[in-house]
Amino acid sequence: MRKFTRSLVAVGAVATVAAMSACSSGSGGTGGGDASFGTEATGTLNAWGFENADDVGTSRLDYAAEQLGDVEVKIDQTSFDAQKFTTRVAGGNVPDVVQMDRRFVATYASQGLIMPLDECFSAHDVDPASTYYESVLDDVTYDDGVWGVPQFYQPPAIILNNRVLEAAGVTPEEIDTSKPDVLLGAIEKMYQESGGNPTLIGFDPVAGGQAGLWILGAGGTLVEDGRPTLDDESNIAGLELLKSITDAQGGYAKVKSFTDSFDTFGENNQFVADQVGAQVNAQWYVNVLSPYVDSLDISAVPFRGGDGEPFAVAGGQAFVIPANAKNPDAACSWALELTSLDAWKAAGEARAATLEETPGAINAGLFTGSPEADTFVREQYVGESGNAGFDQTISTYYDAVENGETFGASPAGQQIEAELNNAVQSVLLGDKTPEDALADAQKAAMRAYDQAVG
């Protein structure tokens, strides 16, 4: 299983997009635009970004090919690259459909570089509101239009190393992100160091990659009506909690140095080696841990917002159709077939077959972005594994998807994330106060926003 990462675009790339938007043709615009789609899919379809497809991907590709027998599908299996995309748009050499992170969608929608898909869904009698989780759909909704066909939703939760907790006299209930004092007390009990350097961290918040989760979970806001809101006072609480957590374990620099040394994907990973008591992880990491089940004793608790309720943020990919696509009808049909319930059924069957060939493998389910598909796969293929800790962990992630919140769709979505991460790092390293760091981040994000919409 590949680690889920989010690509970031430099501010200069947004300027390039803005400059080229005047040259783009086709649909685009605002308020859902005027793109129209037919249901007769024929001809050649050029797709980009569906790279390194595993059993879940290939089974869906095979299913879509069966449904679209009159379409010849050609796939560029390189990963999506924002600069490459804008270059291809400028040169008129665009694919018909592109897979990208959902954080890119509003950027390209605001510039008219991709088509609004409301009519795509309507032509095929697909109701996005009843097909996808609300938070997932919100990720690709901008200016009253839907601009992407979502797929996948990786909710976060906190995986516990029960051996470490028990040795320190810590209970799972103490790993509660809504109760900072309780959480910091548990961290103090578990944390170990040698020569001033961590040898066991009680709680890894994954601050560098999960900043948005911590800010939003504490009641913050990153986007309002498409505009960045990084300097909102509500964002300070999550940032201060992150700093308290890392300061309690030797400081951010030492924590990061230690966590960077983890054998994250190997047989001596941080849970096997007892290097961590608890860690924020996306759902896919359960699959990484499952081969080492005999060497682990894990369970999970939800990430909790400031109100004490379970909290998650949406994350994943989407298919978009460039404004100058030569075969938008086939692109629409293909994207919807790939993300249909029947396609996910095929994926669930393929994943189950793969796991049957792996002794001791545990089926952790699929998290598709569609409640109906998730429910089907869980009921059909996710049963008791024989390991109560893994089963409880899997169940915690399934519970988490119902509590999702969007990061907020914005034309400057990637820059908002990049500037937020910069702000978090400067605060955790002690270079800036939370107020100053967020103010500086807001200024940079607003410059990107103004460029994107200007």
* CATH code of residue 207: 3.40.190.10
Among 19-28, 83-92, 170-179, which stretch is predicted with the lowest mean pLDDT? 19-28
pLDDT digits (tens, 9 = 90+) for 252-293: 999 999 999 999 999 999 999 999 999 999 999 999 999 999
Structure confidence at residue 446 (pLDDT): 96
User: 189 and 64 in one domain?
Assistant: no
Has residue 20 got a pLDDT over 80? no
Q: What is the pTM of this model?
A: 0.88
* 254 CB-near residues (< 8 Å, 6+ apart): 196, 197, 198
Mean predicted confidence (pLDDT) in 307-312: 93
Q: State the average pLDDT for the chain.
A: 89
Structure confidence at residue 357 (pLDDT): 87
Has residue 26 got a pLDDT over 80? no
Has residue 157 got a pLDDT over 70? yes
Has residue 24 got a pLDDT over 70? no
- The secondary element (H helix, E strand) that includes residue 282 is strand 276-282
pLDDT digits (tens, 9 = 90+) for 28-60: 333 344 678 989 999 999 999 887 678 999 999
pLDDT digits (tens, 9 = 90+) for 99-140: 999 989 999 999 899 999 999 999 999 999 999 999 999 999
**In Å, how far are 164, 317, 451 from 281, measured between CA atoms?**
17, 18, 34
Count the alpha carbons within 13 Å of 31 in the hemisphere toward its beta carbon. Answer: 1
Q: How many CB atoms within 10 Å of residue 399?
A: 15
Q: Is residue 230 part of a domain?
A: yes
Q: How many domains does the chain have?
A: 2
Selected residue with higher pLDDT from 10 and 131: 131
Structure confidence at residue 7 (pLDDT): 30
Domain membership of residue 54 as a residue range: 43-154+316-351
Q: How many CB atoms within 10 Å of residue 154?
A: 21
User: 129 and 80 in one domain?
Assistant: yes
User: 288 and 185 in one domain?
Assistant: yes
Structure confidence at residue 335 (pLDDT): 97
Q: Give me the phi and psi of 144, to 5 degrees please.
A: 70, 15
Structure confidence at residue 315 (pLDDT): 84
- Angle made by CA atoms 324, 325, 330, in degrees to the nearest 5: 155
Check residue 303 and give left, alpha or beta (phi > 0: left; psi -120 to 50: alpha): beta
pLDDT digits (tens, 9 = 90+) for 400-449: 988 888 888 999 988 998 999 999 999 999 999 999 999 999 999 999 99
Q: Is residue 63 part of a domain?
A: yes
Selected residue with higher pLDDT from 51 and 215: 215
Distance between CA 300 and CA 302 in Å, rounded? 7
Q: Is residue 346 part of a domain?
A: yes
Q: Is residue 17 part of a domain?
A: no
With tokens 């249901």, the residue in question is 39
User: 215 and 129 in one domain?
Assistant: no
Q: Is residue 9 part of a domain?
A: no
User: 324 and 288 in one domain?
Assistant: no
Strands (E) across 153-257 are located at 156-161, 192-194, 197-204, 223-224, 227-228
User: 434 and 306 in one domain?
Assistant: yes
Q: Is residue 78 part of a domain?
A: yes
User: 237 and 122 in one domain?
Assistant: no
| DSSP 8-state code for residue 322 | B
User: 444 and 306 in one domain?
Assistant: yes
Q: How many CB atoms within 10 Å of residue 375?
A: 12
User: 51 and 185 in one domain?
Assistant: no
**In Å, how far are 61, 218, 309, 368 from 365, measured between CA atoms?**
19, 29, 24, 9
User: 223 and 148 in one domain?
Assistant: no
Check residue 232 and give left, alpha or beta (phi > 0: left; psi -120 to 50: alpha): beta
